[in-house]
A and B are shown apart, each in its own frame.
Chain A
Amino acid sequence: MKAQSRSRAIVMLALLALATTGAMLHHDAPTFPHSKHAKLFPTCASCHSGVITGDAARVYPTQAVCASCHNGSVVKSVSWRVPTPPVTNLKFSHELHASASAEAGNPATCASCHGTGGDTTWMHVSRAEPARCLGCHLASGHLAAGNACATCHVPLTQARGLSDSVVAHFPKPPSHAAGDFISRHAPGNGADLASCATCHARESCARCHANAQQRPEIAQLASDARIARLVAGKPGVYPTPATHSRANWKLTHGTDARSSIGSCANCHTQKSCTTCHTGTLAASVIRGLPASGTGMATGVQLYTARGSAGGPSVESASPPQPPPAVPPPSPQDTADPHRVMVHEAGFLASHKHTAASGALNCQGCHETRECTSCHSGTAPARSYHPADFVSRHGTEAFRQNATCNSCHRTETFCRSCHQSSGMASSDKARGTAHASQPLWLLQHGQAARQGLTGCTTCHQQRDCLRCHSTVGQNVNPHGDGFNASTTSQRNKQVCFACHVTDPMKK
């Protein structure tokens, strides 16, 4: 029984010790039993004179002051240590509060803030509660929009005792969760910036702002190693501004860029632009953006998707990132790419008019050589024609919709290939190119009028002159639409290709 009782006592003692330790760790009240000393001290300043004078050494009494009574003979000895200042980013001046309240005609006493639960009994005191501060300072609540954080808080960089974890879990003001917060979060004045500095350091901004080094309000923020560790490797957050949803934004954003490139530089580096702007015409504007570099924000990352007949598209994406060690500061973080089609589907095939009318400033994004490298027509334009176009080009060629000859000269490209590959039957009286048309001779007139360009991809002029000339069969090829006068006025030589004498002198 005794052994059992002893064991139970040991367990109880252990539990009591744990509970006491835990209570002490979480006990906010001063360990000094003020109420027991209520009859000894007539004023607070007896022990805390430094609070009034601002002398930090006299904010708390020393061990010697206690020992004047607690010397072991008058009263039992006690151990007393001056409390360690709390780790906090709060700032408070008793002196300023005392003088300010006095000037306001309502001098504050110590009990105004330190009276336990509003108890005004002498020396029934505890630590001041934040709610009492807010009662005077912030009628709208701790994190309400418009509050000046710096009224009560020191800048983060001065609160050096706070750990990474504490910083990461700073409470987030409700205003920061608004959908458009990032678009309008720039501090409007020094007071705003001071509020930002309560929780943020330069690295907070530099995580997203490619132009962090150029923005004075960011440069004013001090650097902080804790923030640097927390944002390391985290992608920037780049919400799409409302302007970017404007009709034709992709094609008209140059006006905005020219007028306010500094605004663009908040999110974009030169690389954002040069993804599309391979030409030099916009180079002077693009130079207003920061160049990409190590240790700086990437800016909005665009890359071109595969160019095809639908026209080039660009995609914006935040690079895939490992899960953050601390909760993300914003719900907008995403790795989903956002595709933006620069030109409508089929633009590559139909861009002639847009380019010819000047409706778009092609040179804004394209080098002249991009046109010529394709339109030169002797290089395989692999992004334009579908695969194996050599086998399937016949239909488009017969449609002769004028796009072939924008790149290919009929004689030097089409005919030379048709001749070398045996397709062209020039000079071969029994060519079988029209083999499936047994009465082709009777049909070829209509075919020639409707698709003469196609004919010329194989046939030379002399093939036709065998019949259609005065030295041949003298078959008149001129149709109703032929205006001999206007033609001969500009080039009479061409008449003599068929006519021995001047036909206009008949």
Chain B
Amino acid sequence: MIHRMVMSVLAAIGIASGTAAQGVTISGSSSAQFVELRPLVLDSATVAATDSISPILRRAATGALTNCAATDAYCYFYRSMPRNGLVAMMQDLDVTAWGFGQGLSFHGQLRARTAAGSGRQLWPQADQSFDALSAYLQLERPGFDVRAGRQWVTSGLGVFNFDGGALDVRPFGWWDVNVYGGRSLVQGLDRPLGAAALSPVEDLPPPDNAYLVGAILQLRDLTAGSLRLQYQREIESNRSALYSERMAADATLLLGRATLAGEMTRDFATGAFNDLALSLGAMVVPQVHARIEARHYAPFFDLWTIWGAFAPVGYNEGTLATDWSSANEATLISLTGGWRQYDQTHTGFESLPLRSNGWRVGTLARQRLSSVFSLEGDYNVDLGFGASSTDGDLAIRWAPSSRGSLGIRGMAFQNLNEFTVGAGHVLGAGFEGSLLLRPDLRLAGDALVYRHVGDDAAQIADWNQRRLSLRLEWSLGAEPGLSRTLGRAGVP
């Protein structure tokens, strides 16, 4: 892994320097994170060792709810395994090199990662030790850009990565046409979307790899608004079938101090509108911004899965958000609320209803107490189908200068899961801080402790844990004529 990583970086730098590049910028983030988790494991108890609490459920001596089959001598339940600790290490490198020719530049985003410890298998994609998230050449010319290599397209349909090419043409000042295509990749991984990547977690993976093709038309006028239309399809590599065929339309209309926005995504395979939303945002009075939105949402599933055939329903939701900030923006208070109602499922029993609506409210407040201290807190309640939660966070931050800060954070939250593994409340506390050692070098870290108290009868999940993370962010080189600074992405 390290070998591949080093070789890739050296290759990137070598390309830049060996071909008389004018310069290279490299920014990196080295992080190490200690996490504790307690996986669940299936356990059993004899029927005789359990007490009946319903025709189906029995309770074990530990208090855990168990499932018992009439013909079986055992009842089954899940319990938490001993605490597993892991240290996840990650090295991100972002490389930009230019000067190979007029407007020609190279962009690469490389990630090496590994995990150590008894729970290393719990870290997502722990066996994927190296990712080349992007690596492409870009030619920028007045009126058009061309990209070739591993790249991403971000759009109303989502975020997709692929190996291929993209052409971005700007025939007029406010027109932009982008066509792209290439081999589909698994989102966030540098592996093709196919059986090899998905078979470990899916018995019926896509039969073949896929190609992604699409086009985006954007019209943008700073004074009037913007419109972006997108069509995209994912084609099985043998071209016998589609994995998806979708379109998106997003528009913004500027109406004085108000903004009217709409979005739509449509899945041609199921004929469903996955997103239909209309929102109006405005500065209703000085320092008070409000936004109201009406939305219909229905989930989208790739056509290589059977999930779309299950006719999933969507929900209609109305949300209202408003925030007030003082004239000097030392105080900010934000309120949000929403109500959603699911479409009729035409299934189930009236005598055994599940919740078919939900609501949520939340508030966020920030107060700059002085030139160096600030206070921030939020509280949210989300009551819905499947799960509900109540959570609150409070943090105070000391930032004596722009070079660094130190904060103390406390939190409490309660999860109420309607039909999943457990419910309980968690209390947490810790600190976080960052220090700019040099304009191009920053150290950031945090340490947090959580105490989980199970509220449910099952008592099968234990979220007691400690967490610690450290990150070192740095940059080398600068664009010609520009001073070197760390990007904002690394702010803790």
Of the listed stretches A40-48, A183-191, A484-492, chain B binds A484-492
B361-401 contacts to A (CB < 8 Å):
364, 366, 368, 371, 374, 376, 378, 382, 384-389, 391, 393, 397, 399
List residues of chain A with CB within 8 A of the CB of B346: 449, 479-480
Within 8 Å of chain B (Cβ to Cβ): is A166? Answer: no
B488 contacts A276, CB within 8 Å?
yes
List residues of chain A with CB within 8 A of the CB of B340: 399
Within 8 Å of chain B (Cβ to Cβ): is A205? Answer: no
A386 contacts B411, CB within 8 Å?
yes
How far does the alpha carbon of A430 sit from the alpha carbon of B368 in the complex, in Å? 53
Within 8 Å of chain A (Cβ to Cβ): is B211? Answer: no
Minimal beta-carbon separation of B88 from chain A (angstroms): 8
Number of interface residues of B (CB under 8 A): 180
B78 contacts A422, CB within 8 Å?
yes
B311 contacts A368, CB within 8 Å?
no
How far does the alpha carbon of A287 sit from the alpha carbon of B481 in the complex, in Å? 6
B37 contacts A346, CB within 8 Å?
no
Residue of A whose beta carbon sits closest to that of B197: A412
List residues of chain A with CB within 8 A of the CB of B41: 422
How far does the alpha carbon of A374 sit from the alpha carbon of B67 in the complex, in Å? 40
Within 8 Å of chain B (Cβ to Cβ): is A477? Answer: yes
Within 8 Å of chain B (Cβ to Cβ): is A367? Answer: yes
Given contact pairs A398-B386, A450-B385, A339 touches B330 in the complex (Cβ within 8 A): yes
Residue of A whose beta carbon sits closest to that of B315: A450
Given contact pairs A436-B65, A446-B345, A392 touches B329 in the complex (Cβ within 8 A): no
List residues of chain A with CB within 8 A of the CB of B488: 275-276, 278, 304, 307, 312, 370
Within 8 Å of chain A (Cβ to Cβ): is B156? Answer: yes
How far does the alpha carbon of A392 sit from the alpha carbon of B450 in the complex, in Å? 12
A247 contacts B491, CB within 8 Å?
no
Within 8 Å of chain A (Cβ to Cβ): is B23? Answer: no
Given contact pairs A247-B283, A306-B397, A391-B413, A371 touches B299 in the complex (Cβ within 8 A): no
Within 8 Å of chain A (Cβ to Cβ): is B46? Answer: no
Within 8 Å of chain B (Cβ to Cβ): is A252? Answer: yes
A420 contacts B334, CB within 8 Å?
no
Within 8 Å of chain B (Cβ to Cβ): is A428? Answer: yes
A417 contacts B122, CB within 8 Å?
yes
A451 contacts B330, CB within 8 Å?
no
Given contact pairs A247-B257, A432-B77, A377 touches B306 in the complex (Cβ within 8 A): no
Residue in A269, A378, A411 whose beta carbon sits within 8 Å of that of B202 in the complex = A411
B292-347 contacts to A (CB < 8 Å):
297, 299, 301, 303-313, 315, 321, 323, 325, 328-330, 332, 334, 336, 340, 342, 345-347
Within 8 Å of chain B (Cβ to Cβ): is A439? Answer: yes
- The winner among A392, A437, A486 for most chain B CB atoms within 10 A is A392
Residue of A whose beta carbon sits closest to that of B251: A357
B57 contacts A409, CB within 8 Å?
no
B263 contacts A356, CB within 8 Å?
yes
Within 8 Å of chain B (Cβ to Cβ): is A9? Answer: no
Minimal beta-carbon separation of B73 from chain A (angstroms): 13
List residues of chain A with CB within 8 A of the CB of B114: none
List residues of chain B with CB within 8 A of the CB of A490: 241-242, 245, 268-269, 303
Residue in B131, B306, B334, B402 whose beta carbon sits within 8 Å of that of A303 in the complex = B402
A389-430 contacts to B (CB < 8 Å):
390-392, 394-402, 405-409, 411-413, 415-417, 419-423, 428, 430
Within 8 Å of chain A (Cβ to Cβ): is B354? Answer: yes
B304 contacts A359, CB within 8 Å?
no
Residue of A whose beta carbon sits closest to that of B360: A399
A276-288 CB contact bits vs B (8 Å, 1 = yes)? 1010100100110
Minimal beta-carbon separation of A495 from chain B (angstroms): 8
Residue in A317, A462, A491 whose beta carbon sits within 8 Å of that of B402 in the complex = A317
Given contact pairs A395-B387, A443-B348, A465-B306, A432 touches B242 in the complex (Cβ within 8 A): no
Minimal beta-carbon separation of A48 from chain B (angstroms): 62
List residues of chain A with CB within 8 A of the CB of B382: 395-396, 399
B193-230 CB contact bits vs A (8 Å, 1 = yes)? 00001101111100100000000001010100111100
How far does the alpha carbon of A377 sit from the alpha carbon of B366 in the complex, in Å? 28
List residues of chain B with CB within 8 A of the CB of A371: 152, 154, 159
How far does the alpha carbon of A426 sit from the alpha carbon of B328 in the complex, in Å? 55
Minimal beta-carbon separation of B126 from chain A (angstroms): 8
Residue of B whose beta carbon sits closest to that of A402: B297
Within 8 Å of chain A (Cβ to Cβ): is B408? Answer: no
B312 contacts A452, CB within 8 Å?
yes
Within 8 Å of chain A (Cβ to Cβ): is B101? Answer: no
Within 8 Å of chain A (Cβ to Cβ): is B415? Answer: yes
Residue of A whose beta carbon sits closest to that of B190: A376
How far does the alpha carbon of A99 sit from the alpha carbon of B417 in the complex, in Å? 101
Residue in B94, B321, B348 whose beta carbon sits within 8 Å of that of A367 in the complex = B94
B313 contacts A291, CB within 8 Å?
no
How far does the alpha carbon of A45 sit from the alpha carbon of B356 in the complex, in Å? 111
Residue of A whose beta carbon sits closest to that of B200: A416
A287-320 CB contact bits vs B (8 Å, 1 = yes)? 1000110000000010111111110110101000
Minimal beta-carbon separation of A449 from chain B (angstroms): 4
B39 contacts A421, CB within 8 Å?
yes
A375 contacts B188, CB within 8 Å?
yes
List residues of chain B with CB within 8 A of the CB of A453: 299, 312
A394 contacts B348, CB within 8 Å?
no
Minimal beta-carbon separation of B219 from chain A (angstroms): 8
Within 8 Å of chain B (Cβ to Cβ): is A271? Answer: yes
A334-357 contacts to B (CB < 8 Å):
335-341, 344-346, 352-357
Within 8 Å of chain A (Cβ to Cβ): is B183? Answer: no
Within 8 Å of chain B (Cβ to Cβ): is A483? Answer: yes
Residue of A whose beta carbon sits closest to that of B458: A435
How far does the alpha carbon of A491 sit from the alpha carbon of B448 in the complex, in Å? 48
B201 contacts A460, CB within 8 Å?
yes
Minimal beta-carbon separation of A304 from chain B (angstroms): 5
A55-107 contacts to B (CB < 8 Å):
none
Within 8 Å of chain A (Cβ to Cβ): is B8? Answer: no
Within 8 Å of chain B (Cβ to Cβ): is A49? Answer: no
Given contact pairs A378-B124, A394-B417, A446-B345, A493 touches B491 in the complex (Cβ within 8 A): no
Within 8 Å of chain A (Cβ to Cβ): is B237? Answer: no
List residues of chain A with CB within 8 A of the CB of B399: 305-306
The 3 nearest A-B residue pairs measured at CB: A479-B311, A422-B40, A398-B386
User: What are 14 inter-chain pairs, A to B, with CB distance below 8 A?
Assistant: A306-B405, A336-B371, A353-B279, A356-B155, A370-B489, A378-B189, A395-B415, A408-B188, A417-B122, A423-B40, A431-B78, A436-B418, A443-B348, A490-B268
Known contacts A388-B450, A422-B81, A464-B310; 14 additional CB pairs below 8 A are A339-B328, A369-B489, A382-B469, A383-B491, A392-B415, A395-B384, A428-B42, A431-B67, A435-B65, A464-B306, A465-B306, A487-B303, A493-B207, A498-B309
Chain A: residues with CB nearer than 8 A to chain B? Answer: 247, 252, 255, 269-271, 274-276, 278, 280, 283, 286-287, 291-292, 301, 303-310, 312-313, 315, 317, 335-341, 344-346, 352-359, 361, 366-373, 375-380, 382-383, 386-388, 390-392, 394-402, 405-409, 411-413, 415-417, 419-423, 428, 430-440, 442-443, 445-454, 456, 460-462, 464-465, 468, 477-484, 486-487, 490-494, 497-498
